[in-house]
A and B are shown apart, each in its own frame.
Chain A
Amino acid sequence: MPAEPRTTPPAISEDDVRQVAKLSRLKLTDDEVAHFTGQLAAVLSHIATLHELDVTDVEPLAHASDRHSVLREDIPGPSLSPGAALQNAPDRQDGFFKVPKVLGQGGGA
């Protein structure tokens, strides 16, 4: 393997998992936090093998496709009706998605 010093990232802690869950909009239970921390640590330690490679001069590859910024003619066509777009909404009113109060007391968004 190339000679770049191996800089293995630190293992993940329960506090890290809580933070990541918050960023992920997942309200985990304490049991889940404990359970997932061990599993994620094992996966991350396997992922750390990527640090064996020297990738300094390698260009990132985000996508295997050679197609970029494909354009089409701007022609109006049929699209979803408001009714069809809303048909799976858990709650709706007057043609809108309905959410709990987000401002004032009881808000928190």
Chain B
Amino acid sequence: MELLHATLTEQRDAIARGDVSSVELTRAYLDRIAQHDPALHSYHEVFDERALETAAAVDAGKVSGPLAGVTLGVKDLFCTSYGHTTCSSKMLAGYRSPFTATAVQRLEDAGAVVLGKTVMDEFALGSSCETDVDGGARNPWDTDRVPGGSSGGSAAAMAGGLAAATLGTDTGGSIRQPAALCGVVGFKPSYGRVSRYGMVACASSLDQAGTFTRSVGDAALLTKLMAGADPNDNTCADRHVETDLEDVDTPVMGLRIGLPTQYVMEGANHPAVQDAVEAACDLYRAQGAELIEVDLPHTAYGIPTYYVQMTAELSSNLARYDGVHYGHRTASPTAGLAELTALSREEGFGDEVKRRIMLGTFALSSGYEQQYYDRALRVRRLIRNDFDAAFGTPGANADGAGVHAILCPTTTGPAFKRGELIDDPLAMYLNDVYTVNVNLAGICGISLPAGTADVAGTPLPIGVQLIGPAFGEQTLLRVARQYEKHAGHEGLRPPL
């Protein structure tokens, strides 16, 4: 069914018109998952029965709303009161959440049909999806390659046509990087835009929910529905989203788009990525936007800053897995509570989780905290100051001081092979070089399909990234929409 590859908005409208029923669409996705997911492994768990029941309720007119009857895949770190929530970890194997995450609940309240939970890097730690306890999702463009991570299953499911949209989370690039490597739209809203309630905590000052979609308009719609104050998350902003689909599709004439010299001049990018960014510049100039070089001098310090602060927060958040309250408990006899906890954690966590817990514990430990943690927080300030200067925030955008959006690559190149980086953590971490600073600054970013790079005869997707100031989603999505509209990469999909 060709409609499976249409945008969520088109599918919703087709259901509303009566061209197709939600049950027909849902069943077609479930069939496609049964056919292709044994090779892609993008879903950890599929809710066939529940999804068809919800779809039938929509068709019977019992459920309505702006997402009535469209399908959704949900990253397996969003808690759901149905099925399991495992974070792709042995630690949470069999875990059943007593509640549902706010982001998921709001989309279900709008009529969405949840197909299942998608595979990820264990506890969202990774850039390849390979740290998943079951071996990880594959890239639909080449199943020997990674889909990116950590939200790799959500990206692979979208690229494979196994959902109308999927949810992910982005702590340092975990939506934008896999979106680029799989050739779909990946949107990380500003920190605080979407409630984190019911998202299993990774690094609390950086985690943010976001979307994988086939269009910028779909990202705008889902974000609008998820956003807004939540009494269960006091870091969630009490702001309405101004973004409407109609507003997104307006010209960029007269807008200023920044090109950070640090992101494109390092010679590290694949030629296709470099070409894509240059083509995007030409596109925006042709649309009447002004391209301006911007200076983000602390760019290179993003990765070291990130890996101190995120691991520090992670080590604290993951202390809750103690073998007592929930999660894995060792079956071996232990001499008391301390050993029970240490052995349960040793057995329940994979290598990358252990490495990052230890890194964070080290960075916070007595004698090192000043050298690592405190210093990283100060550099984080410098990184945010870079963006504030570029955007002219706060309040200076209107009078011409800053740029409206920043254009750069999402990643240095296309998807790498499975196994290539898995035992070289530092090389894996450097994957996030163009994405982490957005999280550190708390601002918003989107990765857009930018065509493919030819790698030994195989076309592999690449992405361009647009970055906007905190709570500047409306303008960012508008700039993104004009790229999508004129770049000619819509409908890009793997031969599946």
Q: Which of A42, A50, A87 contacts B301 (CB 8 A)?
A: A50
Question: Digit string of B318-359 for contact with A (CB within 8 Å is 1, else 0)?
Answer: 010011111111000011111111110110010100110111
Question: CA separation between A32 and B346, bound complex, in Å?
Answer: 10
Question: CA separation between A23 and B379, bound complex, in Å?
Answer: 26
- For residue B271, CB closer than 8 A to chain A, the reply is no
By a CB distance below 8 angstroms, the chain B residues around A39 are 355, 425-426
Across the interface, do A53 and B235 meet the contact criterion of CB distance under 8 Å?
no
Across the interface, do B301 and A53 meet the contact criterion of CB distance under 8 Å?
yes
By a CB distance below 8 angstroms, the chain A residues around B337 are 99-100, 102, 107-109
- For residue A89, CB closer than 8 A to chain B, the reply is yes
Interface size class of A (residues with CB under 8 A): 35 or more
Question: CA separation between A58 and B307, bound complex, in Å?
Answer: 19
- For residue A3, CB closer than 8 A to chain B, the reply is no
Across the interface, do A25 and B338 meet the contact criterion of CB distance under 8 Å?
yes
Given A25-B342, A40-B362, A89-B325, A59 contacting B378 (CB threshold 8 A): yes
Q: Which of A42, A58, A67, A100 contacts B425 (CB 8 A)?
A: A42
Across the interface, do A109 and B338 meet the contact criterion of CB distance under 8 Å?
yes
Question: Digit string of A61-94 for contact with B (CB within 8 Å is 1, else 0)?
Answer: 1111101001010000000100011011111000
Question: CA separation between A31 and B235, bound complex, in Å?
Answer: 41
Distance between A20 CB and nearest chain B CB, rounded to angstroms? 5
- For residue B412, CB closer than 8 A to chain A, the reply is no
Distance between B105 CB and nearest chain A CB, rounded to angstroms? 15
- For residue B96, CB closer than 8 A to chain A, the reply is yes
Given A9-B371, A88-B326, A58 contacting B336 (CB threshold 8 A): no
Across the interface, do A64 and B191 meet the contact criterion of CB distance under 8 Å?
yes
- For residue B102, CB closer than 8 A to chain A, the reply is no
Across the interface, do A49 and B235 meet the contact criterion of CB distance under 8 Å?
no
Given A62-B205, A99-B324, A87 contacting B191 (CB threshold 8 A): no
Question: CA separation between A7 and B371, bound complex, in Å?
Answer: 9
Across the interface, do A20 and B235 meet the contact criterion of CB distance under 8 Å?
no
Given A17-B358, A28-B346, A108-B335, A88 contacting B301 (CB threshold 8 A): no
- For residue B43, CB closer than 8 A to chain A, the reply is no
Main secondary structure of the interface of A (DSSP, over half): loop
- For residue B118, CB closer than 8 A to chain A, the reply is no
* Contacts of B439-453 to chain A: CB distance below 8 A: 440-443
Across the interface, do B377 and A40 meet the contact criterion of CB distance under 8 Å?
no
- For residue B172, CB closer than 8 A to chain A, the reply is no
Given A20-B358, A26-B346, A58 contacting B325 (CB threshold 8 A): no
Q: Which of B1-9, B260-268, B380-388 contacts A (4 or more CB under 8 A)?
A: B380-388
Question: CA separation between A102 and B340, bound complex, in Å?
Answer: 11
Across the interface, do A24 and B371 meet the contact criterion of CB distance under 8 Å?
no
By a CB distance below 8 angstroms, the chain A residues around B315 are 24
Q: Which of B300, B341, B378, B382 contacts A25 (CB 8 A)?
A: B341
Across the interface, do B338 and A55 meet the contact criterion of CB distance under 8 Å?
no
Question: CA separation between A36 and B362, bound complex, in Å?
Answer: 13
Query: Which residue on B lies nearest to A62, using beta carbons?
Result: B377
* Contacts of A10-50 to chain B: CB distance below 8 A: 12, 16-17, 20-21, 23-28, 32, 36, 39-40, 42-44, 46-50
By a CB distance below 8 angstroms, the chain A residues around B346 are 26-28
Across the interface, do A100 and B336 meet the contact criterion of CB distance under 8 Å?
yes
- For residue A106, CB closer than 8 A to chain B, the reply is yes
